[in-house]
Structure 1
C-alpha cells in the first residue's frame, strides 16, 4: 500500500481496488471496450455462487477490442403495475417498461436490481437490457380488473422509460396510449429528449390534467455529465426539453437528482435558476444514494475520474449517512442527515422559494378514469 498517493492516505480504499500510483479496480474493463459507458468494471452479481477475477497474463499484445454493444432481451412480465408502501415515496404505483438502463448513470440506485437476473450491476446494467413489449397489453388487463381505482402512476422512478432503446421498441409510447384512452393520471421522470416525440399524447392528457413531467438535471457541466451519465441528453438539451414541454402547456418540473457533494452540490442554485428560466414550475431534489453494489462502483468511477476529490466526496457523503456510505432508513435515505445535509436542504428551499418553484405542483385528476373493459370495447361473455 506504499504506492497510494498522499491524498488517499487516511481514506480507506475499497477492498476491490489496487494501488499502483493510483487506485484501480482489480477487474476493471479495458477503456477501449467500455467507451461511452460509465461503469469501470463488471463485478459478479451479489447472488452468484462463483466470482470471476480478471488478471494480466503477461502478454503485451495490443488487441483491437470492439466496444461493448447494447443487447436487449424480451421479458414477459406477469404484471406491469408495481406497488409500494414506502412512507418517503410520494407515489403508490409505478411502471417500468425496461429493466436496466442504457443511460448508464454511474450513481443509479437501481443498479443492484440486475442481480436478480444473475447479472452485474456494473456494465451489465448498462448493456444487457430487458424490454417488456407486453406491458401495454398487461396494463390494459390490469386497468380492466373489477374494482380498480385510478391513482397516479409514476414512470421513470427506477429506470428511464425514454432511454435510447425506446426509440425502436416504443413501449412507453404504447403505455401512454393506453393511459390516455383510459383517462388515467401519470407522472413521468426522465433525462431524455425522446419524450418530445410524444408531445401529441402528452398535450391531450395535460388538457385533462392527467399528466406532469419532471426533467432530471444533475449538473450543468457538459464534461461531468458526459462522464457520469454518458448516454443521457446533455444538460442544455434537457433545459430545452423543459422549454418545449412548457410551450405545449404540459406541467413540467426540474429534479436536481442526485445532489453529489463537492461534484455538483455547488450548482443547486444555478440548476434551479436555469430550470425556472426554461419554464419549470416545480422542483425537487434527492441526495446521492449508494446502496449495495452502487457504492463500490461509484468509488471506482470517482477514483478514475476525480481521484483528487475522492477523500473529500466520501467524507461528506459519510457525514450525511451516519458514518456509512449509505443509510437506507426511511425519511433519511432521500435527504440524508447532519449539518451538511441540512445546509443542502436550506439552500434548495431558499432558492426554490425565491424562484416561486413549488415542491409538489399540481395534483392530477383521477376522477375521469374509464376502465378499458367498459370504454367501448366488447365485454367478455363470461
Structure 2
C-alpha cells in the first residue's frame, strides 16, 4: 500500500509544510487513493513582492512589551526560524504561516516617505520606535532593498530614538549611522542568541547568522560605542536551554550591557509547525519537549496571558528564571541598564511651508 506524503525538510528552510492559515474557508487534506508515489519535493525559492503601505507605524499597549510603537519594513522573514511567533501574521495576507512565511515576502517600498509624513504630523508624540518587532529587519533581502538603512537615515535626521532587535550580522553594515545615533543617545541594539550549537541553529533558524558570528557582532557594536544587549530568545526546554549560562557569560565578555530572555511561544498555526519540526529533527525527545512546554503554559501548548506568555509559569519556568538571574549576576549583567534614549531633541523634519508653523 502506498503511503501519504510526509513533511519534507528543505536545506535553508525552517518549516516543513505549508498549512492553510486560520482564516481560510477551505483546507486541503491529503488522502491516500492508492496512486500516490513519493517523489523529491522541489526546494522552494524566495519570492518578493512590492507593497505600497498606507501607514508604517504600528502601536501597542501590551504591558509585557517594552515599546509602544514600531515599524516593520518587511512582511515574512527569510531567516526561517521555525519557532517565530510572527509566523501566524502571514495568515492575514491569505498566505501560509509555514513555508510561505519564509519564501513569500513583502517589502514596503514607500516606507521612508510614509514614515516621514507620520513623524511630521502635528499631533505626533515622540517615543522610541522599535525597528522590526514582527520580522527581522536585517534578514537577507535587506542587503538589496536597504529599507532598514533608509529608515535609520531618516530617524537620525529627525533625532528620533529607536531600538533594534536582530539575529543577523548585516547590522554591522550600518555602523556609520548607528555610531552617530549612539553619540546622541538615539539607539539601543539587541542581538538575539538562543544557542551556541551551530548544528542546532542551522535547523532552528536556518538563514540567520551563526551564533559565533552574532557574538562577534556584539563585540563590534560595543567597540564602536553602540549600546548593545543580548536576548536569549526563545529558550526551548530540553533543546537549547543547556547553553543559557554560557550565552550570558560570553555576551558579557563581548561587551553586552544587559541580558534578557523569553521562552518559546506557540500561538495559532505555530503549534502544528513546531510539532512537525520536532518530529522530523528530534523524534527521540519531541514528546518530552512538548510536555515541558505545556507545563510552562498551564497544561496547554500556549497561554496568551500577558503576565506569563513571555517567561512561562510553573516549576520549570521558575528554574529557568533563577538560572538567568544567577548567570547574569556572575557575568556582571544583573544591574539594570539605566541609560535612557533621548526624546528631547526630536525634530519632525517637516518640509518648509510658506505659511510657517503655528505650533
* Interval of TM-score (by shorter of Structure 1 and Structure 2): over 0.9
The residue correspondences of 1:204-219 to structure 2 (distance < 5 A) are 204-219=180-195
- Aligned partner of residue 173 in structure 1, secondary structure: helix
- In the TM superposition, what is the alpha-carbon distance from 1:147 to its structure 2 partner? 2.6
**Paired residue for 2:75?**
99
- In the TM superposition, what is the alpha-carbon distance from 1:53 to its structure 2 partner? 3.1
The residue correspondences of 1:277-296 to structure 2 (distance < 5 A) are 277-296=253-272
Question: RMSD of aligned C-alpha atoms?
Answer: 1.7
Cα gap change, 1:90 to 1:55, in 2 (>3 Å): same
- In the TM superposition, what is the alpha-carbon distance from 1:262 to its structure 2 partner? 0.3
Mean Cα deviation higher: 304-313 or 349-358: 349-358
Cα gap change, 1:361 to 1:286, in 2 (>3 Å): farther
TM norm structure 2: 0.94
**Paired residue for 2:310?**
334
- In the TM superposition, what is the alpha-carbon distance from 1:381 to its structure 2 partner? 5.3
Alignment match of 2:47 (pick from 34, 51, 71): 71
- In the TM superposition, what is the alpha-carbon distance from 1:108 to its structure 2 partner? 0.2
TM norm structure 1: 0.89
**Paired residue for 1:155?**
131
User: Counterparts of 2:136 and 2:342 in 1: how far apart (Å)?
Assistant: 24
- In the TM superposition, what is the alpha-carbon distance from 1:166 to its structure 2 partner? 0.5
User: Counterparts of 1:242 and 1:169 in 2: how far apart (Å)?
Assistant: 24
CA contact (8 A) 1:28 1:41 kept: no
- In the TM superposition, what is the alpha-carbon distance from 1:379 to its structure 2 partner? 2.1
CA contact (8 A) 2:116 2:349 kept: yes
- Aligned partner of residue 326 in structure 1, secondary structure: coil
CA contact (8 A) 2:257 2:337 kept: no
Cα gap change, 1:62 to 1:313, in 2 (>3 Å): closer
Structure 1 gaps, min length 5 = 1-19, 21-25
User: Counterparts of 1:40 and 1:275 in 2: how far apart (Å)?
Assistant: 32
| Count of residues paired in the alignment | 352
- Aligned partner of residue 179 in structure 1, secondary structure: helix
User: Counterparts of 1:264 and 1:380 in 2: how far apart (Å)?
Assistant: 60
Cα gap change, 1:380 to 1:175, in 2 (>3 Å): farther
User: Counterparts of 2:156 and 2:46 in 1: how far apart (Å)?
Assistant: 31
- In the TM superposition, what is the alpha-carbon distance from 1:315 to its structure 2 partner? 1.1
User: Counterparts of 2:306 and 2:42 in 1: how far apart (Å)?
Assistant: 43
Alignment match of 1:379 (pick from 342, 353, 356): 353
Q: Is 1:110 matched with 2:90?
A: no
CA contact (8 A) 2:5 2:38 kept: no
Alignment match of 2:114 (pick from 138, 144, 147): 138
**Paired residue for 2:275?**
299
- In the TM superposition, what is the alpha-carbon distance from 1:157 to its structure 2 partner? 2.2
- In the TM superposition, what is the alpha-carbon distance from 1:351 to its structure 2 partner? 1.1
